Copies of this chain bind each other. A is one copy, B any other.
Amino acid sequence: MGLKKNTSELINLINTKIINLDFPETPSLLYQPVKYILGNKGKRLRPILFLHAIQLFSDLKEIHFIPAIGLEIFHNFTLIHDDIMDKADIRRHQPTIHKKWDENVAILSGDAAMILATKQFLSLPEKIFKPVITEFNKMALEICEGQQYDMDFESRQSVSVSEYLEMIRLKTAVFLASALKMGAIAGNATTNQQQQLYEAGINFGLAFQLQDDFLDSFSNLEIFGKKPGGDILEKKKTFLLINAFTKSSEKQKKELSALLDNTQISPDEKITAVKKIYTDLSIDKLTKTAIKDYYTKGFLWLNKINGYQAVKEELISFFQEMQQRIS
């Protein structure tokens, strides 16, 4: 690949650079939590997509890793604040920041993470800095909108499939799409190429979130890492539940509602019973088909793009692996 890097080389470089991030020592309650959550390795999805998008059109430079890590810091900012709002105690097998420290620490270190994320983009050359930060800013606001819709939906009686898809587009898909688009901008791609990558990212992002919904109900405990069925017990309006309500008869709707509210049966019984309704209504198949369709559309967009063939193949493999994920 010459000056190009494959995905595993990128992951290693990203992780090394994150470990070596030079945050101030004090005030330690501001910076320690940011280091803590960044050290808790995630998939590094967004920096990988950003860097691949750059080298799809240009050579990768050392300087490009700085904003790449900015995207990972921004992602972790959203996790810190979302975990407070969702009252989540555990993230990637470790206590969340508001649990390990307290809520004030989580609010303020989250704010600092957001500012530190933007700071990483200052290293970009002036010419591409403004278009990249413009895209970043637009994306950041859309993610907040997605999170607000997600919270709004909790107290809503019902949510339509299209409302749900719009919510996950904002909350999840836009970030993958913008990471790719920002990379394309930084790699001096044409507006058309930028937009093609963005469309690919939206489709892969929607597929990714629907996979999360599917796996939460239908994966195995051993592989999934966390106990499946959490969404069912929380009565979360996922793609599965929304479609189940849409596809069911009046009688089945009442049964499903009663089942979700039933406090007399064990959690495992409830999960088994809801999953039976899902399979009776073919919601599992419907979801699998939707996931496959989004991946197909994503690959169609990706294949259209005129860029370095070796990098394109690397990106295709990356999303193919994502499509196969079982956890």
Contact = CB atoms under 8 A, between A and B. Distances in A.
Contacts of A107: 81, 84-85, 107
Contacts of A111: 81, 110-111, 114, 144
A233 interface: no
Given A119-B141, A141-B119, A148 B114 contact: no
A104 interface: yes
Interface stretch (A122-130, A240-248, A261-269): A122-130
Contacts of A126: 126, 130
A29 B153 CA distance: 12
B114 A85 contact: no
Interface of A is mostly: helix
Contact of A144 (B115, B140, B145): B115
B81 A27 contact: no
Interface string A98-134: 0000001001101110111011001000100110011
Contact of A122 (B104, B130, B148): B130
A129 B115 CA distance: 17
A147 interface: yes
B81 A108 contact: yes
Contact-residue bracket for chain A: 20 to 34
A310 interface: no
A9 interface: no
B152 A27 contact: yes
Interface in A59-113: 81, 84-85, 104, 107-108, 110-112
A120 B122 CA distance: 17
Interface in A13-63: 24, 27, 29-30
Contacts of A114: 111, 114
Contact of A112 (B27, B116, B119, B144): B144
Given A27-B152, A29-B152, A140-B115, A134 B122 contact: yes
A318 interface: no
A151 interface: yes
A137 B122 contact: yes
Given A118-B118, A133-B122, A85 B112 contact: no
Contacts of A27: 145, 148-149, 152
Nearest to A126: B130
A122 to B, nearest CB: 6
Nearest to A85: B104
Contacts of A147: 108
